[in-house]
Amino acid sequence: MPLINMPEFSGRLLDEFAGRGAARIDTPVIQPAAPFLDMAGEDLRRRIFLTESERGESLCLRPEFTIPVCLRHIETATGTPRRYCYLGEVFRQRRDGDNEFYQAGIEDLGEKNVASADARAVTDAVEIIASLLPGRALTITLGDQTVFEAVVRSLGLPLGWQKRLIQAFGNTALLKQLLLTLATPQPVAGLSLELADLLRKDEAALIDHIDRTMQDTGYSTNASRSPREIAARLTEKLALAETRLDGGALLLLSEFLSLELPLSEAAAALAGFADAAGLSFGHALGEFEARVAALQDLGMDPSRITYRAAFGRPLDYYTGLVFEVTQKESDAVLVGGGRFDRLLTLLGAVDDIPAVGFSLWLDRIEQARAR
Q: What is the 3-state secondary structure (H, E, C) of the chain?
A: CCCCCCCCCHHHHHHHHHHCCCEECCCCCEEECHHHHHHCCHHHHCCCCEEECCCCCEEEECCCCHHHHHHHHHHHCCCCCEEEEEEEEEECCCCCCCCEEEEEEEEEECCCCHHHHHHHHHHHHHHHHHHHCCCCCEEEEEEEHHHHHHHHHCCCCCHHHHHHHHHCCCCHHHHHHHHHHHHCCCCCCCCCHHHHHHHHHCHHHHHHHHHHHHHHHCCHHHCCCCHHHHHHHHHHHHHHHHCCCCHHHHHHHHHHHCCEEEHHHHHHHHHHHHHHHCCCCCHHHHHHHHHHHHHHHCCCCHHHEEEECCCCCCCCCCCCEEEEEEECCCCCEEEEEEECCCHHHHCCCCCCCCEEEEEEEHHHHHHHHHC
Q: What is the pLDDT of residues 308-359, one digit of tens each?
A: 999 998 788 999 999 999 999 898 999 999 999 999 999 999 999 999 999 9
Q: What is the pLDDT of residues 226-238, one digit of tens each?
A: 777 776 666 666 6
Could you check whether the bond before residue 302 is cis, i.e. omega within 30 degrees of 0? no
- The pTM of the full predicted model, rounded to 2 decimals, is 0.83
Mean pLDDT of 40-68: 91
Q: What average pLDDT does the chain have?
A: 87
For residue 214, what pLDDT is reported?
72
Work out the percent of the chain whose per-residue pLDDT is above 90.
59
For residue 302, what pLDDT is reported?
97
More confident residue, 84 or 247: 84
More confident residue, 299 or 221: 299
Mean pLDDT of 175-187: 77
> Is residue 221's pLDDT more than 60?
no
For residue 242, what pLDDT is reported?
61
Closest residue by Cα to residue 31 from 62, 56, 54: 62
78 — pLDDT class (breaks 50, 70, 90): confident
Mean pLDDT of 4-9: 88
More confident residue, 166 or 303: 303
> Is residue 61's pLDDT more than 60?
yes
81 — pLDDT class (breaks 50, 70, 90): very high
> Is residue 54's pLDDT more than 60?
yes
> Is residue 206's pLDDT more than 70?
no
For residue 315, what pLDDT is reported?
83
Q: What is the pLDDT of residues 261-305, one digit of tens each?
A: 999 999 999 999 999 888 888 899 999 999 999 999 999 999 999
For residue 222, what pLDDT is reported?
46
For residue 237, what pLDDT is reported?
63
For residue 269, what pLDDT is reported?
96
9 — pLDDT class (breaks 50, 70, 90): very high
How many CB atoms neighbour CB 271 within 10 A?
14
CA distance 106 to 65: 10
The amino acid at residue 169 is F
| Segment of 78-87, 173-182, 212-221, 230-239 carrying the highest mean pLDDT | 78-87
